[in-house]
Structure 1
């Protein structure tokens, strides 16, 4: 699949006893996504965070499955919806 690779840090929090997804933050590199995810969890106090990448074509909306780079803290086991 041709296209662009996006690197993302995604925080998680707890609301009403369930882990919920926060706002994704696009990053410039895998290292930046990992660092941002760690900061979201460790410094900003989110329940957890994950750094991942996805490759795809934004014009067609065709994207590959996400590749998890690192997990921090409490994140859902099933991340297939990324």
Structure 2
């Protein structure tokens, strides 16, 4: 059964893309996405995420909702 891994923060979009590419090819993983979102971590209020890159087998439609 497939399940998502824990999200990781990156300092900028390019770092997020590189990290997602590395994660997507790591043993036991089939894909990864890099995304960006804005918000307030203290209140937990965040805007919708924007996908920056997708690597491997990722169903982007499953991310909605």
Q: TM-score, normalised by structure 2?
A: 0.84
Gaps of 5+ in 1: 1-14
The alignment partner of 2:37 has SS state of strand
Greater helix proportion: 2
Alignment of 1:1-82 (within 5 A): 15=1, 19-42=2-25, 44-45=26-27, 46-78=29-61, 79-80=63-64
Greater strand proportion: 1
- Give every structure 1 segment of 4 or more consecutive aligned residues whose post-TM-superposition deviation is greater than 6 Å: none
RMSD: 1.4
Gaps of 5+ in 2: none
Higher relative CO (CA 8 A, sep ≥ 6), structure 1 or 2? Answer: 1
Q: TM-score, normalised by structure 1?
A: 0.69
